[in-house]
Amino acid sequence: MSDSERDHVDVTVIHRNAGPKPGVRVHRATDLHPQETRTRYGLPVTSPARTVLDLAAVLDGRSLERALDEAIASRLLRERDLVRALERRPGRPGTARLRALLDDTRGTTRTRAESEERFLALVRRAELPTPELNVNVGRYEVDALWREQGLAVEIDGHRFHGGHGAFESDRMRDADLDDAGLRIRRLTWRRITRHPEAVAATLARALATRRQ
- Dihedral of CA atoms 66, 69, 75, 79 in degrees, nearest 10, equals 130
The pTM of the whole model exceeds 0.95: no
For the ranges 27-31, 85-89, 124-128, 208-212, the maximum mean pLDDT occurs at 124-128
Residues 12 and 97 in one domain: yes
Domain assignment present for residue 182? The answer is yes
Residues 94 and 143 in one domain: no
- Dihedral of CA atoms 160, 194, 208, 104 in degrees, nearest 10, equals 90
Residues 133 and 73 in one domain: no
Burial zone of 195 (CB within 10 Å; 0-12 exposed, 13-18 middle, 19+ buried): middle
Pairing of strands 151-156, 183-188: parallel
**Count of structural domains within the chain:** 2
* Coil/strand/helix, residue 212: coil
Mean pLDDT throughout 191-205?
A: 95
pLDDT in tens, 83-113: 999 999 888 889 999 998 887 656 677 788 8
Residue 14, domain extent: 3-103
Domain assignment present for residue 99? The answer is yes
Residues 141 and 77 in one domain: no
Residues 97 and 17 in one domain: yes
Residues 15 and 93 in one domain: yes
Q: What is the CATH number of the domain that holds 166?
A: 3.40.960.10
CB atoms within 10 A of CB 96: 12
pLDDT band at 18 (very low <50, low <70, confident <90, very high): low
| pLDDT reported for residue 116 | 92
Domain assignment present for residue 108? The answer is no
Residues 136 and 156 in one domain: yes
Residues 127 and 40 in one domain: no
Domain assignment present for residue 109? The answer is no
pLDDT band at 159 (very low <50, low <70, confident <90, very high): very low
Residues 156 and 121 in one domain: yes
Domain assignment present for residue 54? The answer is yes
Residues 119 and 44 in one domain: no
Domain assignment present for residue 48? The answer is yes
Residues 122 and 78 in one domain: no
Give the separation between CA 174 and CA 178, rounded to whole angstroms.
6
CB atoms within 10 A of CB 172: 10
Domain assignment present for residue 194? The answer is yes
Burial zone of 155 (CB within 10 Å; 0-12 exposed, 13-18 middle, 19+ buried): buried
Percent of the chain with pLDDT over 70: 86
